[in-house]
Amino acid sequence: MRIRTLVIVLVTTMALAAFGQEGTLHEIKHGAKKTGQTIKNGLETAGKKTKHAAETVGEKTKETAKTVGEKTKEGTETAGRKSKEALRKANEPAGEEPSTNQKPTAPNRNER
């Protein structure tokens, strides 16, 4: 009977140890699942923030390009207007017309 009791105690101990390990494995599995979900949520949040930042940068770049385009257009118009004015002034007749019988300002070498 002692052997039988000893065998029952050993079998019971082993069964309890197996159930204990199964509980531990279940806890580990649950913890890993929870950690995985936390990582997934963090990545989703980072993705949303990155997308938002990219959209903001895109909008700012578009606004800057528009502003630069407008300023370039204004500068081109101003330069064109100034060029037209300068050309008009250059083509206006001078107050005095040069005569056709003018002496050269540089002395002629043969006239000495």
Domain ranges for the chain, please list them: 39-72
Task: Output the pTM of the full model.
Answer: 0.43
Residue 102 is classified by DSSP as P
What DSSP assignment string belongs to 47-61?
HHHHHHHHHHHHHHH
Residue 110 CB coordination number (10 Å): 5
pLDDT at 41: 92
37 dihedral zone (left: phi>0; alpha: psi -120 to 50; beta): alpha
pLDDT at 11: 81
pLDDT at 44: 93
CA 7, CA 24: separation in Å to the nearest integer? 26
Residue that the structure tokens 């390009």 belong to: 65
**What is the residue-level pLDDT of the chain in tens, covering all 112 positions?**
678 787 888 888 777 777 667 777 778 888 889 998 998 999 999 999 999 999 999 999 999 999 998 888 888 888 777 888 887 888 877 655 555 555 556 566 665 5
